[in-house]
Chains A and B, each alone.
Chain A
């Protein structure tokens, strides 16, 4: 069996962090998470890492592998150069808890601040609705999100400027807002919030979020830009502003 070296970030609140090299056996078809589990079982029982499904469906095992934000469970070793140590470190945009685990709690605090789903009156007497598949397709793309927060991790508005502490909800929640805004049944209006409270204007479309999304959601093109267009149409288009002045 071949061996490979994994350079894992170790450290938490008790000791200053550092990279530690672990050599471990690797076999065909393995992913980074398998190697981390093997290291945990054989060499470092207290190594902290989050994981659940091991199939790219839950978004628990986000990390930065050789500097790229990825899911450990979906990063196959045969896509990496095993002649060099494979670097695995926690997401940098979030505070470190321990080893590969970060404090992502801010994401859970952001979500309730977005106006919740508010459906229109049911279409049928039995209290149900009718929707066309082509209308739900658009929203289903956004609802594929597994909340791995890799897009939040890579967004420079958060990573370099920590604006999520200051009113910027970040790409995950712009996708969430878009899913609600474009939901065929929703009657809520979030445009004012997006402009004033959610920091939509901070996004300057570098598309890093789209690049790292493991679900291949077109975050920028299909969620953020349409939201920006709606905000611009309503608040910045001179013709509509003029009309609003007259209408009061």
Chain B
């Protein structure tokens, strides 16, 4: 085994999506040494797949928009269990963060008067999403990546973090291995920022890449940090459902923002059948008004297709269950119909949604300018994550910070589309800033040699078990089936208890997983290591979902279908107690200050 190679940085950032890169830029700009670890090549993180846009109340397309409206929309979408301070900071700071991207070279779509163009999206009262066609994530990640490479940040590509290292209760660095050679490396760091994204790979149908295995969530949990809101998983209403190999790949909400409508097999726009009470005043009364809204008519209200994702996903599931679905188990999403309204509609669709046009043409042999798409829910995002301080993004462990999807709070029970990309840059910046300040205040940490040796040994155990061990791919597939079937869009006590039993068995199988061969770029070995994190987050999701005996946002309980005021007063947290078992607790939500309360009340009309 031998002693691992060692690197040392003031601030170490784990993850190079939008949040990680933005944190790296901020920390490097503060003059500290910065290391950046990413599991894939630079620029390939899941952020690259984001499509629709980033939400920021700049008011370019509708001057009635401002941070207060954005804040109220975020809180309403999150069913008021959000960390209100994070929602406030996000709404206030997102416009500056977006404008900053332009100063670094991002090229957004423009309004007729030359400003950044903003589009409609689900749950946002006004057009708010700065975008580049439907490839906004690519623009975001490339802009940040190209800015970072000139700042002296050291990037370790294709490295995976195995464990956080602690020194006297504080974070002192991480243990990682490189994919290429399979060698172990210890990174000493005065502050660590986790920006590892989500947990989608715990489910069978997901829009997430292989990297979304909940690494940051699990690393922080094992080190003793608290996770909150883990029951809130977002199932995006529109993923591809056909052909089978592309099941789960995202179809941007931008399709609906541009006028796309959802229909069942009877041709009915079923979203008009079920409009939640708290959105009724803001929702169009008929198809014509909805169309006018998507075309920028300020007097019109939003079509019901642009209600929040949790609601749209459940409506789609209801239609499919009732036998009114499309041939392949989804519903129809139709943007081609706008040719009735617009001359040159086909060109318009191709210009506004080039990536979707290309995706369906290449992968499904379907021309979205002529035919409706088939779509159904796909696991997309987790609102839950590492509990952090709103202003500093510091976790409950000194020296450990988290930002982006792996941090929790801003989204509450349901995230609004477009709020993720702006969350990445708002809180990525803050995490980088406060991590740098923390690093300056600390002496160089010590690395715990014994912990490194133990973790290295555990990571190599699959080779000792060899080819006679469990196939890690099979264990992962079975885990995904379990979570998809038993802790999915609709949940019920008995099924979730069953899931816990199965997770125990899967844990035992994962501990028996084995591989043979050498360590270099050994995907099977990496799958063994991913299992530990996937199982941890799966258990956290299931236990939190059992504890929340009501339905709210992305969490829907068939046995408790109503929202309950009692459960609106706290977040559910999990942490690891000293014996190693998962402890579930309730954390009361502090009262909102009067200023924010009045904003929320004013916006309820």
The residue in B40, B107, B520 that gathers the most chain A C-beta atoms within 10 A of its C-beta is: B107
B521 within 8 Å of A by Cβ? yes
Residue of A nearest to B362 (CB): A74
B524 contacts A45, C-beta separation under 8 Å: yes
B132 contacts A140, C-beta separation under 8 Å: yes
CB distance from A78 to the nearest CB of B (A): 9
Chain A residues, CB < 8 A from B103? 119, 127
B523 contacts A49, C-beta separation under 8 Å: yes
Q: List 10 A-B contacts (CB under 8 A).
A: A29-B245, A46-B525, A52-B211, A53-B46, A55-B250, A76-B363, A98-B521, A108-B41, A108-B157, A132-B114
A46 contacts B515, C-beta separation under 8 Å: yes
Additional A-B contact list (19), CB under 8 Å, known A116-B150, A144-B138: A29-B242, A29-B364, A30-B243, A45-B472, A45-B524, A47-B523, A50-B41, A52-B40, A53-B46, A55-B49, A98-B521, A108-B155, A111-B149, A117-B105, A129-B102, A130-B115, A136-B107, A140-B133, A146-B138
With A53-B49, A183-B105 given, is the CB distance from A60 to B243 under 8 Å?
no
With A48-B522, A108-B157, A143-B139 given, is the CB distance from A117 to B104 under 8 Å?
yes
With A34-B245, A45-B515, A58-B48 given, is the CB distance from A52 to B363 under 8 Å?
no
Chain A residues, CB < 8 A from B117? 133
Contact partner of B115 (CB less than 8 A), chosen from A49, A101, A128, A185, is A128
B359 within 8 Å of A by Cβ? yes
B 378-390 to A, binary, CB cutoff 8 A, 1 in contact else 0: 0000000000000
CB distance from B42 to the nearest CB of A (A): 6
Interface members, chain B 194-250 (any A CB < 8 Å): 209-211, 242-246, 249-250
Interface members, chain A 79-94 (any B CB < 8 Å): none
Residue of B nearest to A132 (CB): B114
Chain B residues, CB < 8 A from A197? none
Task: For the complex, give the distance between the alpha carbons of A111 and B147 in Å.
Answer: 11
B362 contacts A56, C-beta separation under 8 Å: yes
A53 contacts B48, C-beta separation under 8 Å: yes
B558 within 8 Å of A by Cβ? no
CB distance from A127 to the nearest CB of B (A): 7
A63 within 8 Å of B by Cβ? no
A158 within 8 Å of B by Cβ? no
With A97-B180, A112-B150 given, is the CB distance from A183 to B107 under 8 Å?
yes
Task: For the complex, give the distance between the alpha carbons of A49 and B210 in Å.
Answer: 12
B355 contacts A57, C-beta separation under 8 Å: yes
Residue of A nearest to B139 (CB): A143
B339 within 8 Å of A by Cβ? no
A136 contacts B110, C-beta separation under 8 Å: yes
9 A-B pairs with the lowest CB-CB distances in the bound complex, closest first: A29-B243, A45-B524, A130-B114, A117-B105, A41-B473, A48-B521, A52-B209, A46-B517, A98-B521
| Residues of chain B at the chain A interface (Cβ within 8 Å) | 40-46, 48-49, 99, 102-105, 107-110, 113-115, 117, 132-133, 135, 137-139, 142, 146-147, 149-150, 155, 157, 180, 209-211, 242-246, 249-250, 355, 358-359, 362-364, 471-474, 477, 515-518, 520-525, 527
Residue of B nearest to A107 (CB): B41
CB distance from B122 to the nearest CB of A (A): 21
Task: For the complex, give the distance between the alpha carbons of A180 and B246 in Å.
Answer: 35
Contact partner of B520 (CB less than 8 A), chosen from A12, A31, A51, A128, is A12
Task: For the complex, give the distance between the alpha carbons of A40 and B268 in Å.
Answer: 43
B521 contacts A41, C-beta separation under 8 Å: no
With A45-B515, A131-B110 given, is the CB distance from A104 to B244 under 8 Å?
no
**Contacts across chains A and B counted by CB atoms under 8 Å:** 172
Task: For the complex, give the distance between the alpha carbons of A108 and B209 in Å.
Answer: 22
Chain A residues, CB < 8 A from B472? 45
Task: For the complex, give the distance between the alpha carbons of A112 and B146 in Å.
Answer: 8
B149 contacts A58, C-beta separation under 8 Å: no
Residue of B nearest to A135 (CB): B110
A127 contacts B99, C-beta separation under 8 Å: yes
A160 within 8 Å of B by Cβ? no
B244 contacts A29, C-beta separation under 8 Å: yes
B107 contacts A14, C-beta separation under 8 Å: no
B520 contacts A28, C-beta separation under 8 Å: no
Task: For the complex, give the distance between the alpha carbons of A144 and B48 in Å.
Answer: 11
Chain B residues, CB < 8 A from A186? 105
Residue of B nearest to A71 (CB): B362
A119 contacts B105, C-beta separation under 8 Å: yes
A40 contacts B107, C-beta separation under 8 Å: no
CB distance from A142 to the nearest CB of B (A): 9
With A111-B149, A140-B133 given, is the CB distance from A46 to B355 under 8 Å?
no
A27 within 8 Å of B by Cβ? yes
B521 contacts A52, C-beta separation under 8 Å: no
B210 contacts A46, C-beta separation under 8 Å: no
With A41-B471, A133-B110 given, is the CB distance from A27 to B42 under 8 Å?
no
Task: For the complex, give the distance between the alpha carbons of A20 and B116 in Å.
Answer: 52
With A31-B245, A132-B114 given, is the CB distance from A54 to B209 under 8 Å?
yes
A13 within 8 Å of B by Cβ? yes
Task: For the complex, give the distance between the alpha carbons of A204 and B142 in Å.
Answer: 28
The residue in B210, B472, B525 that gathers the most chain A C-beta atoms within 10 A of its C-beta is: B210
A139 within 8 Å of B by Cβ? yes
Chain A residues, CB < 8 A from B147? 116-117
A99 within 8 Å of B by Cβ? yes
Chain A residues, CB < 8 A from B137? 57
With A31-B245, A41-B473, A132-B114 given, is the CB distance from A56 to B48 under 8 Å?
no
Residue of A nearest to B474 (CB): A41
B44 contacts A46, C-beta separation under 8 Å: no
B246 contacts A29, C-beta separation under 8 Å: yes
Task: For the complex, give the distance between the alpha carbons of A131 and B46 in Å.
Answer: 29
The residue in A13, A53, A147 that gathers the most chain B C-beta atoms within 10 A of its C-beta is: A53
Chain B residues, CB < 8 A from A119? 103, 105
Chain B residues, CB < 8 A from A144? 135, 138
A59 within 8 Å of B by Cβ? yes
Contact partner of A55 (CB less than 8 A), chosen from B104, B157, B359, is B359
CB distance from A112 to the nearest CB of B (A): 5
Task: For the complex, give the distance between the alpha carbons of A183 and B143 in Å.
Answer: 13
A54 contacts B249, C-beta separation under 8 Å: yes
A57 contacts B43, C-beta separation under 8 Å: no
CB distance from B15 to the nearest CB of A (A): 13
CB distance from A146 to the nearest CB of B (A): 7
Interface members, chain A 160-176 (any B CB < 8 Å): none
A117 contacts B146, C-beta separation under 8 Å: yes
A131 contacts B105, C-beta separation under 8 Å: no
Contact partner of B110 (CB less than 8 A), chosen from A57, A111, A132, is A132
CB distance from A22 to the nearest CB of B (A): 15
Task: For the complex, give the distance between the alpha carbons of A128 and B115 in Å.
Answer: 8
A56 contacts B146, C-beta separation under 8 Å: no
Chain B residues, CB < 8 A from A60? 40-41, 44
The residue in B42, B110, B249 that gathers the most chain A C-beta atoms within 10 A of its C-beta is: B110
A136 contacts B245, C-beta separation under 8 Å: no
B135 contacts A52, C-beta separation under 8 Å: no
With A117-B104, A117-B146, A136-B107 given, is the CB distance from A52 to B43 under 8 Å?
no
Chain A residues, CB < 8 A from B523? 40, 45-49
A45 contacts B473, C-beta separation under 8 Å: yes
CB distance from A44 to the nearest CB of B (A): 8
Task: For the complex, give the distance between the alpha carbons of A129 and B117 in Å.
Answer: 13
Chain B residues, CB < 8 A from A14? 518, 520
Chain B residues, CB < 8 A from A56? 358-359, 362-363
Contact partner of A143 (CB less than 8 A), chosen from B104, B107, B209, B359, is B107
Chain B residues, CB < 8 A from A131? 107, 110, 114
